[in-house]
Structure 1
Amino acid sequence: MPGTRAVLPVTPLLAVGAFAIGTDTFVVAGVLPEVARDLDASLADAGWVSTLFALTYAVLAPVLGALTGRLERRRVLVVSLTVFAVGNAASALADGLGTLLAARVLTAAGAALYVPAASASAAALAAPERRGRAMAVVLGGLSAATLAGVPFGTWLAADLGWAATFWLLAGLGAVCAVAVALGLPEVRLPAAPGLAARLAPVRDPRVLSTVLTTLAFMTGGYLALTYVGAVLAPATDGDGGVLALLLLVFGVFAVGGTVAGGRATDRFGPAPVLSAALAGLAAVLVTLPLARDSLTTAVVAMAAWGVTAMATQPPQQHRLFTIAPASGPLLLSLNSSATFAGISLGGFLGGRVLSHGGTDGVDRLGQFGAALVAAGLLTALTGLRTRAPSHTDTGRTSPEPARSPADP
C-alpha cells in the first residue's frame, strides 16, 4: 500500500511536536498568577500573554501557510520548531511583561507554521484510505497536551517557577527539530503555478463554510471551557485537586475522541462524523447546568465534552485537504487560524456573559456556547451541500497528493 510504511513511524514523531505546541498554548493559564507576581503586573495585564499568543497564531497561520506552501515540508517543519524553541527560550529569559509578550509573538509564529505543515505532511505520506487516521495522530498530540503536558507544566511552574516551564518547552522544541530533520523523509506537495493559484481555493465556498464552522464551534466550546472552574464549582466545591481530576477526564477522552474521529472519518467520510460530533457537543454544553451539581454528573459531562469536542477536528482537516491538496498547507492553516481565533473569542465572550449575566451568568455560558455550536452545525450542513464553483481551479483538485520520493 503506497505510503503506509512511511507514515507509521513518522506521524507519531510529528505528534510530539504538536504535543509541545499544545502544551505551550494551554499551560499559560496555569502559570499566569506566577507570571503576574514575578513581573509585577496585574493578572488582567498578564492575561495578554495568552491572548496575544492566540491572536498572533490566528493571524499568522494563513499568511505563513501561503508564503511557504511551495516549500518542501521537512524544511518548513524544522524551521518552525526552531523558531518555537527560540521563542520559548526568550520567554524564559524575559525580565518584563513587554519582553515576554514579544517572545510569545515569536513563539506563536513558530507554532502557526508547524501544525498545518505537520498535518499536511501526515496526509501526504498516508495512503488515501488512512489519511484521516494519519491526521488524527498529529492532532492527538494537541489532545495529549491537555492530558499530560498542561498538568505537568503547571506543576513545574508552581515548584520551580514559570521560567522552568518555558525552558522545558524550548528543549522539547529543539529535540523535535533535530528528530524531524533526521527522521522525516522529504515531503513535496503538488505544486500550484504560483501564489494566485494557491490562493484560488480560498474563494471556494466549501472552504469558507468549513472555516466558519470551525470558528463557530471553537468559540462556543471555549466560551464555557475557559471558565470551567466556575462552571463546575458546585461539583468540585472549589477544590483545585478535584478540578484537575475532571480536566484529566476531559483530556483522556479528548485523545479518544481524536482517534475515534479519525477512524470514523476514514470509514464513513467527514460529513456524518462532523455532524454527529457537533450535535453531541451542543447537547453537552446545553445540559451543563444539569451536570454541575454533582461530581458523578460532572465526570460524565467532561468525558462526553472531551470526545465530542476533539472528534470534530479530523473530519474538518480531511475535508479541507481533499478540496485542494496543492493548497493543503494554506487551507489547513486557515482552519488552525479559525481554531485559535475561536479560543480567543470564546474567552472574551465568556467574560462578557459572566460580567452581564448576573447570578445566572455561569449557567448561560453553556447555553450560549451550545447556540454557537448549533450555528456551526448549520453552517457545516449548508457547506456540505455546496458544490465546487466550476470557474475555480482548486489547485488540481485530485484528492491524491504527490508522494514523497521516500515512499515505496
Structure 2
Amino acid sequence: MPLALLALAVSAFGIGTTEFVMMGLLPNVAGDLDTSVPTAGYLVSAYAIGVVVGAPLLTALGSRIPRKRMLVLLMALFTVGNLASALAPNFGLLIAGRVLAGLPHGAFFGVGAVVASRLVSEDRRARAVATMFLGLTIANIVGVPVATLLGQNLGWRATFLVVSAIGVVAMAALARLVPQVSPEQHGGLRQELGALRDRQVILGLLTAVFGFAGVFAVYSYLASMMTEVTGFGESTVTLVLALFGMGMTLGALIAGPLTDRALRPTLYGSLAALAVTLVAFDFTVHVKWAALVSVVVLGAVGFMTTTPLQMLVMNKAQ
C-alpha cells in the first residue's frame, strides 16, 4: 500500500478521536459546565450538524482545488475547531466549536476516499478506502480511550488540545506524503447536489443515516449505560471504548476484501447483523460479560457497513 494511505489514516485517526471521545467525556463536561448529561449530549449532535452541513458545502467549494491542498485545508479547519472547543469558556461556545470541528469531517472522507482509490489498482480500491478508515477505527482502540483517560484526569479541555496537536501532525503528513491529484471537473454545488437525482445514491445515503442511527444511539451514551445500567466503574469506561474500537477495526479489515469481491452481499449481510445486534443489546447490557461481547460485535458489524456504503455511493455518484 502507498505511504500516502498512512497520511490519510493519521488524519482519520485524529477525526475519529474527536468524533467519538465526546461520548466518554459527557459526564465530565456536564459536571464542569454545570449541565446534565442529556443536555451535554447535544455536543454529539452539534458535531453531527457540522458534518451534515460541511460535507456537501465544502466538497462543492473545493471542487476545483487540487485534492492534496484540499485535504490539508480541511485538516486545518479541523484543528481550528478542536482548538476552539478546548478554549470555549461556556457551553454555547463549546457547541459552536464542535460544529466547526465537524464541518470538514464528511468532505475529508469523501475527498480522501477518492484519493485513496486512485492510488491503487481497480481491484484493490475498497481495500485502499478501508485502510484509510482503519485510522478511524484505531482511534477507538487507542485515541479515544487514552483521550478519555486524559480528560478524566486533566480535564476535558486537555483532550481537545491534544487532538489539535494530532491535527497539526496530520497536516504535515498529508503535505509530505500525498501526491498531487488533480480534481475532477465539477460545476460546484449544483453539480454535487445533482448526484442526488440518482436513486442509488439516495438509497445509499439513507442507508447510512438510518443504519448508523442505531449505532450512535447506543454509542453516544455508552459510558453512562456501562456505569449506570451494567454496573461497571468509571475507570472501566476506557476499556469499553477500546473494545468498541477493536470491533470497528475487525469490521474494517473484513469489509475491505469482501467489498472488492462482492459489494452488495457484504452490505446486506452487515446491515442484517447490525439489526440483530442492536435488538440483542437491550438484553445483554444487563450482564457484564455479555455487554462487553456485544460492544465488540456492535463495533464490528456497524463498521462493516462503512466501506461498501462508501464504494456504492462513489460508484453511483461519479
The TM-score normalised by the length of structure 1 is 0.72
In structure 2, which of residues 69, 73, 79 is the aligned counterpart of residue 75 of structure 1? 69
The residue aligned with 1:176 is: 170
Report the residue type matching 2:231 in the other structure: D
1:235/1:295 contact within 8 Å kept? no
Instruction: Please say if residues 24 and 222 of structure 2, whose CA atoms lie closer than 8 Å, have aligned partners that are also in contact.
Output: no
- After TM superposition, the structure 1 = structure 2 runs for residues 34-73 of structure 1, keeping only pairs within 5 Å, are 34-73=28-67
Q: How does 1:166-315 map to 2 (within 5 A)?
A: 166-192=160-186, 195-229=189-223, 236-268=230-262, 270-315=263-308
Match of 2:145 in 1: 151
Identity of aligned residues (%): 35
Three-state SS of the structure 2 residue aligned to 1:125 is: coil
The equivalent of 1:133 in structure 2 is: 127
C-alpha change, 1:261 and 1:201, in structure 2 (3 Å) is: same
* 1:62 Cα offset (Å): 1.5
* Alpha-carbon distance between aligned partners in 2 of 1:310 and 1:178, rounded to the nearest angstrom: 28
Q: How far off is 1:290 after superposition?
A: 4.1
Match of 1:321 in 2: 314
Cα distance in 2 for partners of 1:137, 1:235 equals 35
**Which letter maps to 1:93?**
L
For 2:297, the aligned partner's letter is A
1:13 equivalenced with 2:22 (yes/no): no
Q: What is the one-letter code of the residue matched to 1:174?
A: V
CA offsets per residue over residues 34-56 of structure 1, 9 Å max, x none?
33343444444433333212112
Greater mean alpha carbon deviation, residues 12-21 or residues 60-69: 60-69
Count of aligned pairs: 318
Decide whether aligned partners of structure 1 residues 243 and 24 sit closer, same or farther in structure 2, where only a CA change above 3 A counts: closer
- Post-superposition Cα deviations, 1:232-287, rounded to whole Å, max 9, x if no partner, equal 5698433334454343222112101011101111122x100001101111111222
SS at match of 2:2: helix
One-letter amino acid matched to 1:288: F
- Provide structure 1 residue ranges, at least 5 long, that are not aligned to the other structure: 1-6, 326-408
Q: Name the CA shift for 1:255/1:242 in 2 (closer, same or farther; >3 Å).
A: same
In structure 2, how many angstroms separate the alpha carbons of the residues matched to 1:92 and 1:233?
A: 26
Kindly tell me: are residues 139 and 322 of structure 1, through their superposed partners in 2, closer, same or farther at Cα, counting changes over 3 Å?
A: same
Structure 1 CA distance, aligned partners of 2:42 and 2:288? 32
Code of the residue aligned with 1:224 in structure 2: it is V
Question: Residue by residue, what CA displacement relative to the aligned partner does 1:160-189 show, whole Å, maximum 9, x if unpaired?
Answer: 222211110111101111221122101124
Q: What secondary structure sits across from 2:260 in the alignment?
A: helix
Deviation digits for residues 295-327 of structure 1 (CA, Å, limit 9, x no counterpart):
3333332232221111101001111112233xx
Change (3 A) 1:18 1:307: same
4+ long deviations beyond 6 Å: none
Cα deviation, residue 197, structure 1: 4.0
Q: What is the alpha-carbon distance in structure 2 between the residues aligned to residue 224 and residue 14 of structure 1?
A: 28
1:92 alignment counterpart: 86
| CA RMSD after TM alignment | 2.3
Structure ID, larger Rg: 1
